[in-house]
Structure 1
Amino acid sequence: MRPPADQLSGRKSIMRNHTTYPDFTCVLAEREDGEPVGFAYGFHGAANQWWHDVIYRSLSEAGGPEAAMGWLGDTLEIAEVHVHPDYQGKGTGRAMMHALCDGRPERTSVLSTHDRRTAARHLYHSLGFVDLLTRYVFPGGYERYAIMGAALPLKGAQDAARDA
């Protein structure tokens, strides 16, 4: 995602902290020579996690606490999905999403992505994710995001298991 250099230490700290969350899982996509070309990770979302609490409040305001609990009450929060540009559009992201989500015990999965027409957003929609909030700006931020959610297992999970 090429964040500004001044954000790198903060992002590394956030990612390091995420590894301590319940049921943290990370997947890595590699070339045949072992060179990484992508990674994705997530964890069980719960109260007192910053992203979870911020989105819970926003979903409650938009649709009521029942809607927020329906999406976030038992969820896999996907925090990061990154694919090297040379490997985008070739199934790497889809394979990582299935590897991350398939077999999880949670009822739903939620994530945030830039609120633009991107390959990532197209991928998420094709996996069954729907827009929960759009044009969303996180507290202290300025970029617009889409908050998306999907029921688990993801759309195409049986096909992914068969093709593995």
Structure 2
Amino acid sequence: MTDDDVVIGPLDLASRVDEALAVQALAFGLSDDEIGVRRQIVLRHITYPGARALGATTAEGRLVGFVYGMPNDRAHWWSTVVEPYLRSHGHDSWLDDSFVITELHVHPRHQNRGVGRTLITTITDAAAEPRSILSAIDIESPARGLYRSLGYQDLARHVLFPSAPKPYAVMGAPLPLHRRR
């Protein structure tokens, strides 16, 4: 099932960062302080080489979902945090030649309609890298189910990020991602 009222396309994340973070706050449950911190992170990330974003917008132009990512760089903060966890499981090579899904969020009213699936498959289809990696809260959730259905597998679990209250799982998948039959 897809959300026929939503169009997926390129997103100028810098100019629509506040709308994107409003979607993330609803989908992910962020406080105003967390939004402020993430705003600076997003604005920095989108300046990185190869970073790109897609948005899901309604016919009226309202942003109801977004994804952004970039080719992984071992020097980036995220990679430095997850590297020891991946290395301990023999998966640190996944940090090379991978496209990172940095954020993927869909407004709760548009979830379970194919929007997240279309966002992530569209952005990874344009990746030059042979695989993709991401991190997700380490619980059984609809997001983790979506990632598994696309071919992502757990590479490391119980990953602790500074200041994050819950552990994460790092997941990886070869590209292109699986499609529904």
TM-score (norm 2): 0.80
Aligned residues: 154
The unaligned stretches of length 5 or more in structure 2 are 1-27
The letter of the residue matching 1:90 is R
Contact 1:76–1:110 (CA<8 Å) still a contact in 2? yes
**Unaligned 5+ runs, structure 1:** 160-164
Structure 2 partner of 1:75: 98
**Percent identity (aligned):** 37
* Equivalent pair of 1:115/1:134 in contact (CA under 8 Å): yes
Q: 1:108 aligns with which of 131, 136, 160?
A: 131
> Which one-letter code corresponds to 1:68 in the other structure?
D
Q: What does the per-residue CA deviation read over 1:67-106, in whole Å, with 9 as the maximum and x for residues that have no partner?
A: 311x111011111001000110000000001111003110
With the length of structure 1 as denominator, give the TM-score of the two structures.
0.88
Report if aligned partners of 1:137, 1:144 keep a CA contact under 8 Å in 2: yes
Instruction: Map 1:1-164; keep pairs closer than 5 Å.
Output: 1-63=28-90, 67-69=91-93, 71-156=94-179
4+ residue runs over 2 A deviation: 139-142
* More divergent stretch after superposition (22-31 vs 54-63): 54-63
Give the secondary-structure state (helix, strand or coil) at the position aligned to 2:30.
coil
Q: Distance in 1 between matches of 2:164 and 2:118?
A: 31
